Amino acid sequence: MGDVDGLRLFHTGEHPCGYWPERTARDLVLDPRDPRLLAFYPQALQWGFRRSGDIVYRPHCRGCRACVAVRIPVADFVPGRSQRRCQARNRDVESRVLPAERSEEHFELYRRYLGARHAGGGMDDHGVAEFDQFLVGSWSQGRFLELRVGGRLIAVAVTDLVEDALSAVYTFYDPDESARGLGTLALLRQVDWARRDGRRHLYLGYWISGHDKMDYKRNFQPLEYFDGRRWQREAPEAP
Protein backbone atom coordinates (compact mmCIF):
# COMPACT_ATOMS: atom_id res chain seq x y z
CA MET A 1 0.00 0.00 0.00
CA GLY A 2 1.24 3.53 -0.81
CA ASP A 3 0.02 7.11 -0.76
CA VAL A 4 -0.48 9.76 -3.47
CA ASP A 5 -1.39 13.26 -2.24
CA GLY A 6 -3.08 11.66 0.76
CA LEU A 7 -5.06 9.21 -1.39
CA ARG A 8 -4.28 5.61 -0.51
CA LEU A 9 -2.89 3.38 -3.24
CA PHE A 10 -3.11 -0.41 -3.12
CA HIS A 11 -1.38 -3.27 -4.91
CA THR A 12 -3.74 -6.06 -5.89
CA GLY A 13 -2.71 -9.68 -5.64
CA GLU A 14 -1.65 -11.47 -8.77
CA HIS A 15 -4.48 -12.60 -11.05
CA PRO A 16 -4.76 -14.08 -14.57
CA CYS A 17 -3.84 -11.56 -17.27
CA GLY A 18 -6.83 -10.52 -19.35
CA TYR A 19 -4.70 -10.13 -22.48
CA TRP A 20 -2.05 -12.85 -22.39
CA PRO A 21 -3.48 -16.09 -20.93
CA GLU A 22 -0.07 -17.50 -20.09
CA ARG A 23 0.80 -14.50 -17.88
CA THR A 24 -0.30 -13.20 -14.49
CA ALA A 25 -1.03 -9.57 -13.72
CA ARG A 26 -1.44 -7.18 -10.83
CA ASP A 27 -2.62 -3.58 -10.57
CA LEU A 28 -2.21 -0.36 -8.65
CA VAL A 29 -5.63 0.75 -7.42
CA LEU A 30 -6.68 4.07 -5.89
CA ASP A 31 -8.80 3.70 -2.75
CA PRO A 32 -12.36 3.34 -4.15
CA ARG A 33 -13.89 4.46 -0.83
CA ASP A 34 -12.15 7.82 -0.77
CA PRO A 35 -14.69 10.65 -1.35
CA ARG A 36 -12.02 12.67 -3.19
CA LEU A 37 -11.71 10.13 -6.00
CA LEU A 38 -13.87 12.08 -8.47
CA ALA A 39 -11.81 15.24 -7.93
CA PHE A 40 -8.56 13.28 -8.31
CA TYR A 41 -9.68 11.31 -11.37
CA PRO A 42 -8.47 13.81 -14.05
CA GLN A 43 -4.97 13.72 -12.54
CA ALA A 44 -5.10 9.92 -12.38
CA LEU A 45 -5.82 9.77 -16.13
CA GLN A 46 -2.76 11.95 -16.73
CA TRP A 47 -0.73 9.44 -14.71
CA GLY A 48 -1.83 6.52 -16.88
CA PHE A 49 -4.68 5.21 -14.74
CA ARG A 50 -8.06 4.06 -16.07
CA ARG A 51 -11.56 3.58 -14.66
CA SER A 52 -13.53 0.34 -14.59
CA GLY A 53 -16.76 0.78 -12.64
CA ASP A 54 -15.75 2.48 -9.37
CA ILE A 55 -12.16 1.22 -9.62
CA VAL A 56 -9.36 3.47 -10.87
CA TYR A 57 -6.35 1.31 -11.65
CA ARG A 58 -3.09 1.01 -13.55
CA PRO A 59 -1.36 -2.27 -14.49
CA HIS A 60 1.74 -2.85 -12.37
CA CYS A 61 2.89 -6.33 -13.32
CA ARG A 62 6.14 -8.01 -12.32
CA GLY A 63 8.53 -8.03 -15.26
CA CYS A 64 6.00 -6.81 -17.82
CA ARG A 65 5.26 -3.33 -19.17
CA ALA A 66 3.17 -4.33 -22.16
CA CYS A 67 0.16 -2.15 -21.27
CA VAL A 68 0.87 1.45 -22.30
CA ALA A 69 -1.65 4.23 -21.62
CA VAL A 70 -2.43 6.18 -24.80
CA ARG A 71 -4.43 9.27 -25.73
CA ILE A 72 -5.30 11.24 -28.85
CA PRO A 73 -4.35 14.96 -28.97
CA VAL A 74 -7.68 16.00 -30.43
CA ALA A 75 -6.62 19.21 -32.18
CA ASP A 76 -3.94 17.38 -34.17
CA PHE A 77 -5.88 14.26 -35.11
CA VAL A 78 -6.50 13.64 -38.82
CA PRO A 79 -8.47 10.51 -39.83
CA GLY A 80 -6.61 8.08 -42.07
CA ARG A 81 -7.93 6.57 -45.27
CA SER A 82 -9.63 3.57 -43.66
CA GLN A 83 -11.18 5.83 -41.01
CA ARG A 84 -12.55 8.14 -43.69
CA ARG A 85 -14.07 5.10 -45.39
CA CYS A 86 -15.63 4.13 -42.08
CA GLN A 87 -17.13 7.61 -41.75
CA ALA A 88 -18.53 7.46 -45.29
CA ARG A 89 -19.96 3.97 -44.74
CA ASN A 90 -21.82 5.24 -41.69
CA ARG A 91 -23.31 8.49 -42.92
CA ASP A 92 -26.72 7.16 -41.92
CA VAL A 93 -25.69 6.75 -38.27
CA GLU A 94 -26.98 9.41 -35.88
CA SER A 95 -25.39 10.02 -32.50
CA ARG A 96 -26.52 11.61 -29.27
CA VAL A 97 -25.09 11.95 -25.77
CA LEU A 98 -27.08 10.93 -22.70
CA PRO A 99 -26.35 10.54 -18.97
CA ALA A 100 -24.87 7.13 -18.13
CA GLU A 101 -28.09 5.46 -17.03
CA ARG A 102 -29.10 1.92 -17.93
CA SER A 103 -32.24 1.33 -19.97
CA GLU A 104 -33.71 -1.98 -21.07
CA GLU A 105 -32.60 -1.17 -24.60
CA HIS A 106 -29.00 -0.59 -23.48
CA PHE A 107 -28.96 -3.76 -21.40
CA GLU A 108 -30.37 -5.93 -24.19
CA LEU A 109 -27.73 -4.67 -26.63
CA TYR A 110 -24.98 -5.22 -24.05
CA ARG A 111 -26.08 -8.82 -23.48
CA ARG A 112 -26.15 -9.52 -27.23
CA TYR A 113 -22.69 -8.04 -27.62
CA LEU A 114 -21.21 -10.09 -24.78
CA GLY A 115 -22.83 -13.26 -26.08
CA ALA A 116 -21.23 -12.76 -29.48
CA ARG A 117 -17.85 -11.31 -28.49
CA HIS A 118 -17.07 -12.77 -25.07
CA ALA A 119 -18.85 -16.13 -24.96
CA GLY A 120 -17.39 -18.27 -22.21
CA GLY A 121 -15.10 -15.46 -21.09
CA GLY A 122 -16.77 -14.77 -17.76
CA MET A 123 -18.64 -11.64 -18.83
CA ASP A 124 -21.44 -13.27 -20.82
CA ASP A 125 -23.44 -13.94 -17.64
CA HIS A 126 -23.55 -10.27 -16.62
CA GLY A 127 -26.89 -9.09 -15.28
CA VAL A 128 -28.19 -5.60 -14.52
CA ALA A 129 -26.10 -5.34 -11.34
CA GLU A 130 -22.90 -6.06 -13.26
CA PHE A 131 -23.93 -3.63 -16.01
CA ASP A 132 -24.45 -0.84 -13.49
CA GLN A 133 -21.28 -1.65 -11.58
CA PHE A 134 -19.07 -1.91 -14.69
CA LEU A 135 -20.47 0.80 -16.98
CA VAL A 136 -22.22 3.30 -14.72
CA GLY A 137 -20.47 3.29 -11.34
CA SER A 138 -21.47 5.36 -8.35
CA TRP A 139 -19.24 8.46 -8.58
CA SER A 140 -18.12 9.04 -12.17
CA GLN A 141 -19.59 11.70 -14.44
CA GLY A 142 -20.06 9.32 -17.34
CA ARG A 143 -22.11 9.63 -20.49
CA PHE A 144 -23.52 7.18 -23.03
CA LEU A 145 -22.81 8.14 -26.63
CA GLU A 146 -25.58 6.35 -28.53
CA LEU A 147 -25.29 5.44 -32.21
CA ARG A 148 -28.57 4.81 -34.02
CA VAL A 149 -29.80 4.01 -37.52
CA GLY A 150 -33.41 4.89 -38.25
CA GLY A 151 -34.00 5.15 -34.51
CA ARG A 152 -32.60 1.66 -33.81
CA LEU A 153 -29.79 1.48 -31.27
CA ILE A 154 -26.67 -0.13 -32.75
CA ALA A 155 -23.88 0.96 -30.39
CA VAL A 156 -23.12 2.66 -27.09
CA ALA A 157 -19.77 4.24 -26.24
CA VAL A 158 -19.41 4.71 -22.49
CA THR A 159 -17.43 7.93 -22.04
CA ASP A 160 -16.14 9.87 -19.04
CA LEU A 161 -15.96 13.67 -18.96
CA VAL A 162 -13.10 15.34 -17.12
CA GLU A 163 -11.80 18.90 -17.06
CA ASP A 164 -10.23 19.09 -20.52
CA ALA A 165 -10.60 15.57 -21.89
CA LEU A 166 -12.85 12.63 -22.62
CA SER A 167 -11.99 9.07 -21.66
CA ALA A 168 -13.27 6.16 -23.75
CA VAL A 169 -14.30 3.60 -21.12
CA TYR A 170 -16.05 0.84 -23.08
CA THR A 171 -18.01 0.35 -26.31
CA PHE A 172 -20.59 -2.31 -27.07
CA TYR A 173 -22.52 -2.72 -30.29
CA ASP A 174 -24.91 -4.85 -32.32
CA PRO A 175 -22.92 -7.92 -33.47
CA ASP A 176 -25.06 -8.09 -36.61
CA GLU A 177 -23.65 -4.68 -37.62
CA SER A 178 -19.98 -5.56 -37.26
CA ALA A 179 -19.28 -4.78 -40.94
CA ARG A 180 -19.82 -1.10 -40.16
CA GLY A 181 -16.69 -0.93 -38.00
CA LEU A 182 -18.64 0.46 -35.07
CA GLY A 183 -15.69 0.41 -32.65
CA THR A 184 -13.75 2.69 -34.99
CA LEU A 185 -16.81 4.84 -35.65
CA ALA A 186 -17.44 5.29 -31.93
CA LEU A 187 -13.91 6.58 -31.39
CA LEU A 188 -14.18 8.93 -34.36
CA ARG A 189 -17.44 10.32 -32.98
CA GLN A 190 -15.79 10.73 -29.55
CA VAL A 191 -12.97 12.69 -31.19
CA ASP A 192 -15.56 14.92 -32.89
CA TRP A 193 -17.34 15.39 -29.56
CA ALA A 194 -14.12 16.31 -27.75
CA ARG A 195 -13.22 18.77 -30.51
CA ARG A 196 -16.64 20.45 -30.38
CA ASP A 197 -16.27 20.85 -26.62
CA GLY A 198 -12.76 22.26 -26.90
CA ARG A 199 -11.23 19.36 -24.97
CA ARG A 200 -7.56 18.58 -25.47
CA HIS A 201 -7.43 14.79 -25.31
CA LEU A 202 -9.36 11.57 -25.78
CA TYR A 203 -7.94 8.86 -23.52
CA LEU A 204 -8.09 5.37 -25.05
CA GLY A 205 -6.98 3.20 -22.15
CA TYR A 206 -4.13 0.79 -22.86
CA TRP A 207 -2.33 -0.07 -26.07
CA ILE A 208 -0.50 -3.40 -26.30
CA SER A 209 1.95 -3.79 -29.15
CA GLY A 210 1.20 -6.84 -31.29
CA HIS A 211 -2.02 -7.77 -29.49
CA ASP A 212 -4.79 -8.44 -32.01
CA LYS A 213 -7.47 -6.73 -29.89
CA MET A 214 -5.42 -3.77 -28.65
CA ASP A 215 -2.94 -2.84 -31.40
CA TYR A 216 -5.68 -1.08 -33.45
CA LYS A 217 -5.24 2.04 -31.31
CA ARG A 218 -2.08 2.85 -33.24
CA ASN A 219 -4.31 3.58 -36.24
CA PHE A 220 -5.35 6.84 -34.55
CA GLN A 221 -2.58 9.28 -35.25
CA PRO A 222 -0.98 11.23 -33.80
CA LEU A 223 -1.07 9.19 -30.61
CA GLU A 224 0.57 10.02 -27.31
CA TYR A 225 2.07 7.29 -25.11
CA PHE A 226 2.68 7.45 -21.34
CA ASP A 227 6.10 6.09 -20.44
CA GLY A 228 5.54 6.16 -16.68
CA ARG A 229 6.79 9.72 -16.29
CA ARG A 230 5.59 11.76 -19.26
CA TRP A 231 3.51 11.63 -22.42
CA GLN A 232 5.36 11.39 -25.73
CA ARG A 233 4.47 10.79 -29.37
CA GLU A 234 7.04 8.11 -29.98
CA ALA A 235 5.83 4.57 -29.24
CA PRO A 236 7.97 2.77 -26.67
CA GLU A 237 9.83 -0.32 -27.76
CA ALA A 238 7.96 -3.57 -27.30
CA PRO A 239 8.90 -5.15 -23.94
- Closest alpha carbon to 154 in 130, 171, 132: 171
Residue 120 has pLDDT above 60, yes or no: no
Checking if the pLDDT of 63 tops 70, the result is yes
pTM score of the predicted model: 0.93
DSSP 68: E
Counting residues of the chain whose pLDDT is more than 70, the rounded percentage is: 94
* Contact present, 165 and 120 (Cβ < 8 Å): no
Q: Apex CA 141: angle with CA 10 and CA 73, to 5°?
A: 85
Q: What is the structure's pLDDT at 239? A: 57
What does the alpha-carbon distance between residue 10 and residue 32 come to, in Å, rounded to a whole number?
10
The Cα–Cα gap between 190 and 74 comes to 10
Average pLDDT (63-89) is 96
Q: What are the structural domains of the chain? A: 2-67 (no CATH), 72-224 (3.40.630.30)
Tell me the pLDDT band of 176, cut-offs 50, 70 and 90: very high
- Does residue 1 register a pLDDT over 70? no
Residues 6+ apart with CB under 8 A from 219: 80, 82, 83, 184
User: What average pLDDT score do residues 216-236 get?
Assistant: 93
pLDDT at 238: 60
pLDDT digits (tens, 9 = 90+) for 3-58: 666 788 899 999 999 888 889 999 999 998 899 999 999 999 999 999 999 999 99
Q: How confident is the model at residue 210 (pLDDT cuts 50, 70, 90)?
A: confident
pLDDT for 58 equals 96
